[in-house]
A = this chain, B = another copy of it.
Amino acid sequence: MENRFLKSPTSPIEIVAGMTCSELLEGLEGCSFQGRQLARAAKIWTEALDRDIRVWLGLAGAMVPAGMRKLVVALMKHGMIDILVSTGANLYHDYVETVGFPHYIGSPHVDDRELREAKIDRIYDTFADERVFIEQDHLIGAWAVETLEERPYTTREFLKLLGEEAARHSKGEEGILSTAAALDIPVFCPAIGDSSIGIALAETERKVLFDLIGDVEETARLAAEKASMVIYVGGGTPKNFIQQTEVTNIVRNRNVRGHEYAIQLVVAAPQWGGLSGCTFEEAVSWGKIAEDSQNATVLCDATIALPVVAAAVMTRREGKKRHGM
């Protein structure tokens, strides 16, 4: 029964006690559906780290309130990502956690009017203290007025300073912004006004100006400089902003070939037509990704997919150095 379509039998996963996340994903390589995609995502990320490339992480959703702050910190410290593009919300919540104010275990089955009364803000099953947010908004606003020069800042410049400020106020907590600042990992936030950082700055007597277009230029140049892997945790502006680096380079007639390694952990389906759920195949038509890229799309909540994949890649990379580092 020789048949060109029947080359590799699937290999049912075997579950054993004490199994590591890395072993689990090895087992899922021979399985199907999203489990196989998850396994491929870890494989691609691991392989990419052996190449002389830059790894871009796009971080959407409410990943920091969801408990993913230290994971992202670990990705930076282990050399698993090189550039971060994030929503403002993730960075604001990172700042607040870093300076000492945690989120709280909550529930979606609650009377939100009681939460309003108690000044508790809900993020699905997670609670936060609104008074903390208001206080931090004031402090961030005051810090910006006192310390920023009278000139436009790219979000990358601004967020480095904010990361240093977070480090100054931290009592031992490591944060995404503070770690990125310490390691000189660039952090971009294309919709920075659309977050509590924007709210904080809208209060100030002196208006902070962002050089948004400067971010567009800088990211495009970074993408043109060196081969790249992209990791999209959710869609939104981080995914689009990283994708558009290559479009910008095409418009400028720069010689680019698109991102060469790509994984995405998303919940949006391509059938909705939105950017958040679009496939890497679609990205090929725009030149956003290389025609022969290694890529995997995992349709799964990132609070599940990201920890499993990160644990597997970290395990497989243990003791290895990144190219040229």
Bound-state Cα–Cα, A38 to B308, Å: 12
Query: Which residues of B lie under 8 Å from residue A185 when comparing CB positions?
Result: none
The answer to the question of A35 belonging to the interface, with a C-beta cut-off of 8 Å to chain B, is: yes
Q: How far is the CB of A64 from chain B (nearest CB, A)?
A: 8
The answer to the question of A278 belonging to the interface, with a C-beta cut-off of 8 Å to chain B, is: yes
**A71 B12 Cβ-Cβ under 8 A:** yes
Instruction: Say how many copies of this protein the assembly contains.
Output: 4
Bound-state Cα–Cα, A18 to B319, Å: 12
**A213 B237 Cβ-Cβ under 8 A:** no
Bound-state Cα–Cα, A108 to B217, Å: 31
**A194 B10 Cβ-Cβ under 8 A:** no
**A102 B318 Cβ-Cβ under 8 A:** no
A272's nearest neighbour on chain B, judged by CB, is B267
Query: Which residues of B lie under 8 Å from residue A241 when comparing CB positions?
Result: 193-194
**A62 B274 Cβ-Cβ under 8 A:** yes
What 0/1 pattern do residues 188 to 220 of A give for CB contact below 8 A with B? 001111111011111100011111111111001
**B112 A284 Cβ-Cβ under 8 A:** yes
Bound-state Cα–Cα, A131 to B212, Å: 25
**B212 A285 Cβ-Cβ under 8 A:** no
Given contacts A28-B303, A274-B61, contact A33 B315 (CB under 8 A): no
Bound-state Cα–Cα, A291 to B259, Å: 36
The answer to the question of A1 belonging to the interface, with a C-beta cut-off of 8 Å to chain B, is: yes
Q: Name the interface size band of chain A.
A: 35 or more
Q: How far is the CB of A133 from chain B (nearest CB, A)?
A: 8
Query: Which residues of B lie under 8 Å from residue A260 when comparing CB positions?
Result: none
The answer to the question of A109 belonging to the interface, with a C-beta cut-off of 8 Å to chain B, is: yes
Q: Which of A120-128, A160-168, A222-230 contacts B (4 or more CB under 8 A)?
A: A120-128
Q: How far is the CB of A223 from chain B (nearest CB, A)?
A: 12
Query: Which residues of B lie under 8 Å from residue A301 when comparing CB positions?
Result: 33-35, 271-273, 299-300
What 0/1 pattern do residues 274 to 311 of A give for CB contact below 8 A with B? 11101001111111000100000011110111011011
**B304 A67 Cβ-Cβ under 8 A:** no
Query: Which residues of B lie under 8 Å from residue A15 when comparing CB positions?
Result: 70-71, 74, 307, 310-311, 314
The answer to the question of A105 belonging to the interface, with a C-beta cut-off of 8 Å to chain B, is: yes
A–B Cβ pairs within 8 angstroms, 12 of them: A7-B105, A9-B103, A21-B21, A35-B303, A62-B273, A62-B275, A112-B285, A121-B286, A193-B213, A193-B241, A195-B240, A308-B308
